[in-house]
Amino acid sequence: MAEPIRIETDDRGVALLTLNRPDKHNALDEATIAALTEAAGRLGRDPAVRAVVLTGAGTSFCAGGDLAWMQAQIAAEPRDRAAGAMRLAGMLGALNTLPKPLIGRINGNAFGGGLGLAAVCDVALCVAGARFGFTETRLGLIPATIGPYVLARMGEAMARRVFFSARLFDAAEAVTLGLAARAVPAADLEAAVEAEVTPYLACAPGAVAEAKALARRFGPRIDEEAIALSVEALVARWESPEAAEGIKAFFAREKPSWAGGGNP
């Protein structure tokens, strides 16, 4: 079985962190969550690493939470369900507090938790043909643990346009909403990422880390209370009849009772 992530570091100290489940559109399962958490800690501690680029293998960036994993959380004992939600929140927190520049190379579609990963990047660059959406509510779920990071990136007014409608939107709108800094043709993505990475290689690594930490302190507060609230909200949603129906309907290729029109 392939590893859920890959890490390749070049001789400049630029680490390429790749989600490596292309057959599952790089959806986040237990193993991927654990691997990303461990990688964030390891890359953060490595003095040879100057910057990290986060991307996905294959044609998708990240389809969000793996629904088989979510189904297992719904069926789990309450203590295990809460622990699963906390591990997801911990992974996002570890990437958000990574003391290195984190550049999102959004190489394809990103939904749900995939947009959470984009939001914890210091800057995200996406391919022009990608599609995006907070699709959780179509399944009876909510964008809970990603919420603090998405709201910090987008602001409430922008978030309320897409955060709970499950509406799909294109790369140009992702830029307007603040989720991505730029949308570029696929052929130009490498050059755009390189343009973001290169300036950091002339900067003092300690100063970069401290400046990033200061930006987080001055920005919207994402503290233990906010994270705990997001975990509680996710667990409550996993325990809801709507979530059970929505995920069951997905695997049965049926529509849940609330489904009418909307995105294809």
pLDDT digits (tens, 9 = 90+) for 83-100: 999 999 999 999 999 999
The encoded tokens of residue 146 equal: 């990603």
Mean pLDDT of the chain: 96
Percent of the chain with pLDDT strictly greater than 70:
98
pLDDT band at 131 (very low <50, low <70, confident <90, very high): very high
| Strand pairing class (182-184; 123-127) | parallel
Percent of the chain with pLDDT strictly greater than 90:
96
Mean pLDDT in residue range 224-241 = 96
Mean pLDDT in residue range 228-255 = 95
Mean pLDDT in residue range 55-72 = 96
DSSP letter at 169? E
- Residues 102-127: tens digit of each pLDDT: 999 999 999 999 999 999 999 999 99
Q: Give the pLDDT score at 2.
A: 86
Residue from 80, 86, 79, 5 nearest 42 by CA: 5
Burial of 199 (0-12, 13-18, 19+ CB in 10 A): exposed
- Residues 159-171: tens digit of each pLDDT: 999 999 999 999 9
Q: Give the pLDDT score at 261.
A: 57
Cα(228)–Cα(89) distance, rounded to whole angstroms?
A: 9
Tell me the domains of the chain and their CATH numbers.
Answer: 5-186 (3.90.226.10)
**81 pLDDT more than 50:** yes
The encoded tokens of residue 93 equal: 């927190």
pLDDT band at 260 (very low <50, low <70, confident <90, very high): confident
For the beta carbon of residue 90, count every other beta carbon within 10 angstroms.
18
**263 pLDDT more than 80:** no
Q: Give the pLDDT score at 264.
A: 47
* CA-atom Rg of the chain in angstroms: 18
The encoded tokens of residue 91 equal: 């992974």
* Global pTM value: 0.96
